[in-house]
Amino acid sequence: MLMQMVITHVTNNEIAGMKKDWQFPSKELHGYIQGILATLVDINEQSNDMSDTDGDVRLQAKAAEEVKLLDGVAILLKRLEMCSIPAMSVIPEAAVEAFADVLRGISEETRKSYVEKVAYLNRPTKYQEKAWSEALPDIEKAATVMSKLVVSEEEKQSISGAINRLKEHNKAIEVSNKELSITPQIYTLPVNALNEMQQAWIKDNEKQFNAAVVELRTALEHKELATSLTRRLDARIKNTSVATNTDVPAATSSSSSKSSFQVSSTSGSSQRTVSHTSPSTNEHPGTSAVEASSLFVPELADIETLRKALNDEPDSSMMFDYTNGLTEFGKFEHIRPTRTENHRYSRFFVNAGTEQLPVFKVVKGSDLGPGGADTLADQANGKETIFDLRYRKKQLSGQANYITSVGPAIQMPFSESKPRPGSKPRQPDAYLRLQYKDNDTPNEWLSRTECISLMGKKTAERYLAQFIAQYDRKCKYLEACKAQRLHPDTNQPLNERDRKFTPWLFPEA
C-alpha cells in the first residue's frame, strides 16, 4: 500500500513537471499580460494627472512604473522565447508603440540596459527566417544583374525568374503570418522595389532606377536577416548607381519622430521596429532615418579604421602646371577659343578616360587652375575649332567625301550649358567631332547648331543621337570604375603610376 502511494506521488510529480515543461503556458502568459496592462494604465493615469504641487513626486512614481513595465516586458519576452512563440504573434502593435514611448523617455543609461532584453520583439519567426534564407540569393542575383553595364540575354531572363520565385516566397510568408495572427506584411520580401528596379532598368530610366535602389536598400538595411546581403550589394549597386546620382531621394530625419512602430509599405516589405531614440536627439551625420530609428543603432565606426583612413589621406596636393597637357579633368585634346584674349572663357576638350577608352569632356577655362587656360591655349596648334561655315560648305560642294568620319560626341550638363532666353525648353549643349580631308585643320568639334548648318538637320540629329547615347554609356562605366577605384582598361585596382599619369581616374579627382 505504501509502495503504491509512493509510485502515485512520483507519477503525479512527473505529470506536473511535464505539464509545466510542455503544456502551452496560457495562464502564465495571461498573467504577465494582465500585469503589463495594469502598469500601462497606471502610467497613462500619472501622465494625465501632473499637478504643479506634487509634480516631482508623480514623476518619480511614473519613472518607477516605467521600469516596472520594462521588467515585465523583458520577463514576458524571455518566456515567449523559451516557448519558441513569436513575440509579434502575441504582443499587439499598440503595446509595442507604448513600450517604445517608454524607451524614448527614460535615461540613456537605463535605455541601454533594456535594449537586449526587448530585442525579441523584432525577432522573425522560424518560417520567415527560412523564407528569407532561400530568397536572398535571388534578391542578390536580380540586383547584381541590373547593376551591370553589359548583360546577356540569359541574364535578362534570369531576373524575371528570380522575381517570380520571390513572389511565391512572399505569398507563403503572408499565409504563415496569418496562421500566427501576425500582420500579413510583416517581414515580407521587397518584391515591389525589385519590380520597380526592373521596369526602370528596362526603360533605361536612371533616375527612377536609382530611386528604386534606395527603396530596396531601405527595405533591406533594417532587416537583420539581410545584413550580409546589404553589405555585398553596397559595392555593386550603391557605388554604381546611388553614389553617382544627385537626384536620388534621401531618407529624411523626420521619420525618426514618427510612431515608433513602423510598418513600411513602400517596398512591400515591413518589419516592426522599436525606436529608442529620443525625439530631441540629433541623428549621427551620414546615417539614414531607418538606421537611427532602429532598435539597435549602429555603433560608431571603429577608431582604428578611422585612424587608418586618416593616415592614407595626403596632407597636401600637387598643383598642375599644364605644360604637358595633363589637367585634373583629363588630357588636353582640343580648344574652342573665345573671341577675346581671355582664355578663361574658352572651352577645352579633354580625354577624361584612357587611350583605349577615350571619354571626352568639355572644361571651361575658368575651371582650370591659375594660368591653366593660357598654358593649354599655347599648346593648341592645329587643335582649335574656329568654325567657318562658308569655307566648309565650299569644300563639301566639290567633294562629297570631304568629311571622312563623324564622332564621338559630348553632351554637357544643363548646369554647365550656356543660358538662352525664351520659354521654349532648351537642349543641353552638345558637340560632335568631324574629321576632314584637310591638312591644316584635320578635325573640329562643332556645336549642335553648327552641325545642323553644315550637315542638315536630319543627318546631324541622327549622328548626335547615336553618339550621345554612346557617350552616356561610357560615362556610366567610367564613373563606376572611379567609384570602385578600378582602372577602366584592366578593371584592376588603381596604383601610384595611374595617379601620376592619369590622376583624373581617381574618385577624389
pLDDT in tens, the chain (509 residues): 555 554 555 455 555 555 555 566 667 666 767 777 777 677 666 666 655 556 566 677 777 777 777 777 777 777 776 666 777 666 766 666 667 777 666 666 666 666 666 665 666 777 777 888 888 888 888 888 887 766 777 888 888 888 888 888 888 888 887 877 677 777 788 888 888 888 888 888 888 888 888 777 777 765 555 555 555 555 444 444 433 343 433 333 333 333 333 333 333 445 554 444 444 334 333 333 333 333 223 334 456 666 666 666 667 777 888 888 999 999 999 999 988 778 988 999 999 999 999 999 999 999 998 899 999 999 888 888 988 888 888 888 878 788 999 999 999 876 555 555 554 556 788 999 999 887 667 889 999 999 999 999 999 999 999 999 999 999 999 988 888 889 999 888 888 888 888 999 988 76
| pLDDT score recorded for residue 66 | 73
Q: Does any domain span residue 372?
A: yes
Q: Does any domain span residue 439?
A: yes
- Residue 63 belongs to domain spanning: 2-122
286 in the same domain as 138: yes
| pLDDT score recorded for residue 54 | 60
261 in the same domain as 184: yes
State the Cα–Cα distance between residues 393 and 410, nearest whole angstrom: 23
Residues near 366 by Cβ (< 8 Å), separated by ≥ 6? 344, 345, 373
Nearest CA to 260 out of 102, 40, 42 is that of 102
164 in the same domain as 111: no
Residue with cell string 507519477:
11
pTM comes to 0.42
| pLDDT score recorded for residue 111 | 66
Q: What is the CA radius of gyration of the chain?
A: 33
**Torsion angle of the four alpha carbons 375, 378, 383, 384, in this order, in degrees rounded to the nearest 10:** 100
Q: State the DSSP string of 399-447.
A: -TTSEEEEEEEEE--GGGSPP--SSS--PPPEEEEEEES-SS--EEEEE
257 in the same domain as 130: yes
Q: Does any domain span residue 56?
A: yes
State the Cα–Cα distance between residues 250 and 247, nearest whole angstrom: 9
State the Cα–Cα distance between residues 4 and 114, nearest whole angstrom: 51
Phi, psi of 77 (to 5 degrees): -65, -40
Q: Does any domain span residue 310?
A: no
162 in the same domain as 100: no
Nearest CA to 234 out of 130, 120, 143, 134 is that of 143
115 in the same domain as 133: no
144 in the same domain as 244: yes
State the Cα–Cα distance between residues 112 and 108, nearest whole angstrom: 6
State the Cα–Cα distance between residues 42 and 451, nearest whole angstrom: 80
CA angle (60 as vertex; 73, 274 as ends), nearest 5:
35
Could you give the angle at which helices 108-115 and 55-82 cross, rounded to 10 degrees? 10
379 in the same domain as 470: yes
139 in the same domain as 200: yes
199 in the same domain as 89: no
Phi, psi of 186 (to 5 degrees): -65, 125
- Where a domain ends, among 103, 122, 141? 122
| pLDDT score recorded for residue 251 | 36
Residue with cell string 516589405:
269
- Where a domain ends, among 75, 92, 122? 122
239 in the same domain as 141: yes
Q: Does any domain span residue 322?
A: no
- Where a domain ends, among 100, 122, 144? 122
Give the total number of structural domains in the chain: 3
Q: Does any domain span residue 84?
A: yes
Residues near 509 by Cβ (< 8 Å), separated by ≥ 6? 328, 329, 482, 503
- Taking a C-beta distance cutoff of 8 angstroms, is the pair 463, 474 a contact? no
C-alpha cell, 362: 568639355
Q: Does any domain span residue 314?
A: no
| pLDDT score recorded for residue 58 | 67
340 in the same domain as 301: no
Beta bridge partners of 334: 349
| pLDDT score recorded for residue 41 | 72
State the Cα–Cα distance between residues 15 and 225, nearest whole angstrom: 39
Nearest CA to 344 out of 352, 353, 335 is that of 335
Q: Does any domain span residue 311?
A: no
State the Cα–Cα distance between residues 277 and 298, nearest whole angstrom: 12
CA distances from 105 to 2, 36, 299 (A): 62, 18, 21
Residues near 79 by Cβ (< 8 Å), separated by ≥ 6? 25, 28, 29, 32
C-alpha cell, 349: 576638350
Strand locations in 147-221 (E): none
